[in-house]
Structure 1
Amino acid sequence: MKKKVAKFSVLPVVGASIFFYSFSTKKAQDINDAVLEEFRTFNEEMVFEVPAAPEVLVIEPETTSFPELGKSYVAFKEALGFKESGGDYKIINEFGYMGKYQFGRGTLKLIGIRDTNLFLNSPDLQEEAFYANASRNKWILRKDIEKFKDQVVNGIQITESGILAAAHLAGPGNVKKFLRSNGANSFNDGFGTSIKHYFKKFAGYDTSSVVPDRTAKVNNPSVI
């Protein structure tokens, strides 16, 4: 009797255990599935595209090309202006000479300029003044240019542009004295710059475009 009871009492327990195990396993599987689904959803939400690096626009620096000036009139006046003032239109030196080409008041009056403030503030007027003064000096020195051009005076090769540069520094009268004395009568300005240096430094430029004119003046009537 006890043997039967023992035999039939175990089966329900085993069945219950199997049922409980199956139930627990299914539940665990459901939980696992739910967790995996949450994890997958989380991953999908976290996935994002990294924006591509912005394209770098490389801007090449602008380069300005200047024509070769060579030995032109423009090259002549720019070289002379740089020597006189470093190309500064508004400078006044300790002796009162003004602008890019360092004009004195007396010379400015000769070519028709009396308003020095207007002169200092007008690059165009200064360029016009340079041409007018060179034109006037070329007329005064026309005979000396004809006689001494391409000659050697006191070891210096004489050229038209050298004569005009020397006249700008020392005035046409001192150029005549130097040439006609075979270089014996020289001239130095207030800074010690010699007329001989200008003959050499500014030799060989093409100044043929400068027309000799005894009465050369600027073309701006407001300053005459």
Structure 2
Amino acid sequence: MIKNVINYFAIPLAIGAVLYIALSTNASLDMSRYSTEGLELDYTVSRDLALNSNETKLSNSLNAQDHFFPFLGKSYIGFKEALAFKESRGDYFTVNTLGYLGKYQFGKETLKMIGIYNPNQFLYNPQLQEKAFLANAERNKWILRKDIKRFTGKSIHGVLVTESGILAAAHLGGPGNVKKFLRSYGANNFSDAYGASVKYYMKKFSGYDTSSIIPDKRAKATL
């Protein structure tokens, strides 16, 4: 009986002692040592990290500049990644409403020209998609080699013509439509079903270094 009474009082006393020690320690702690006063704190977190991607979706009106991506500059990699973001937001496995496939939104007929006859295999093979982009750019550069030489550095309807702009526009509308635009000095400006035009692509993707793309009439994408 006496043992139970002792236990009854001992537990509250122990809890009280712990609380007293904690409070007295905190009271004597010099919090000024942990102050952030005078420090320059200017940290930002990207929207993608701050929001739960499973619960939020991108609005159609959201500008690409609201996102943060590794800076790739004006290199070839910067060129193809910028173009891929415009085409599909960089998604290898997407198919748009017109049936264009993958990260760079290839049409089935274009794939056949660079040696790819199985669209389903293409869609689920990122390595093949990267090779297809390069092969198509090489082929377009060969087709447009004379126009690149003739028009690079000139201004058409306020757009400075560059090699990368020409190749991006060819990716959008094919080399034939780029020739029409250049040789008509902008009068013939092809637009796709979503309203993107040769002129727009030529301006948006101007000034990248695409010198590493070698013109190749028979370029193919093979693993």
Q: Is TM > 0.5 for Structure 1 vs Structure 2?
A: yes
Query: Match for 2:126: what amino acid?
Result: P
Aligned positions of 1:52-67 closer than 5 A: none
Number of residue-to-residue matches in the alignment: 174
State the shift of 1:213 in Å: 0.4
Aligned-pair RMSD on alpha carbons? 2.9
State the shift of 1:190 in Å: 0.6
Query: Match for 2:86: what amino acid?
Result: K
Match of 1:131 in 2: 134
Partner of residue 171 from structure 1, selected from 138, 152, 174: 174
Highest CA radius of gyration, 1 or 2? Answer: 1
CA distance in 1: counterparts of 2:211 and 2:134, whole angstroms: 12
Match of 1:96 in 2: 99
CA distance in 2: counterparts of 1:67 and 1:81, whole angstroms: 14
Aligned positions of 1:12-27 closer than 5 A: none
Q: Which runs of 5+ in 2 are unaligned?
A: 1-6, 23-68
CA distance in 1: counterparts of 2:159 and 2:72, whole angstroms: 24
State the shift of 1:68 in Å: 3.5
State the shift of 1:159 in Å: 0.2
Partner of residue 194 from structure 2, selected from 191, 194, 199: 191
State the shift of 1:209 in Å: 0.7
Match of 1:202 in 2: 205
State yes or no: 1:73 paired with 2:107. Answer: no
* TM-score (normalizing by structure 2): 0.70
CA distance in 2: counterparts of 1:199 and 1:79, whole angstroms: 13
CA distance in 2: counterparts of 1:95 and 1:176, whole angstroms: 24
State the shift of 1:153 in Å: 1.5
* Residues 129-184 of structure 1: per-residue CA shift (max 9 Å, x gap): 00000000000000000000011112210000000000000000000000001111
Query: Match for 1:122: what amino acid?
Result: N
Q: Which runs of 5+ in 1 are unaligned?
A: 1-41, 54-65
CA distance in 2: counterparts of 1:88 and 1:69, whole angstroms: 18
CA distance in 2: counterparts of 1:79 and 1:215, whole angstroms: 26
Aligned positions of 1:90-169 closer than 5 A: 90-169=93-172
CA distance in 2: counterparts of 1:76 and 1:112, whole angstroms: 23
Query: Match for 1:200: what amino acid?
Result: K
Would you identify which runs of 4 or more consecutive aligned residues in structure 1 move more than 4 Å?
A: 45-50
State the shift of 1:115 in Å: 1.2
State the shift of 1:117 in Å: 1.2
Give the helix-richer structure, 1 or 2: 1
* Residues 81-110 of structure 1: per-residue CA shift (max 9 Å, x gap): 000111111111111111111100000001
* TM-score (normalizing by structure 1): 0.69
CA distance in 2: counterparts of 1:186 and 1:93, whole angstroms: 23
CA distance in 2: counterparts of 1:126 and 1:84, whole angstroms: 13
CA distance in 2: counterparts of 1:102 and 1:155, whole angstroms: 28
State yes or no: 1:211 paired with 2:214. Answer: yes
Query: Match for 1:213: what amino acid?
Result: D
Query: Match for 2:98: what amino acid?
Result: F
State the shift of 1:219 in Å: 2.2
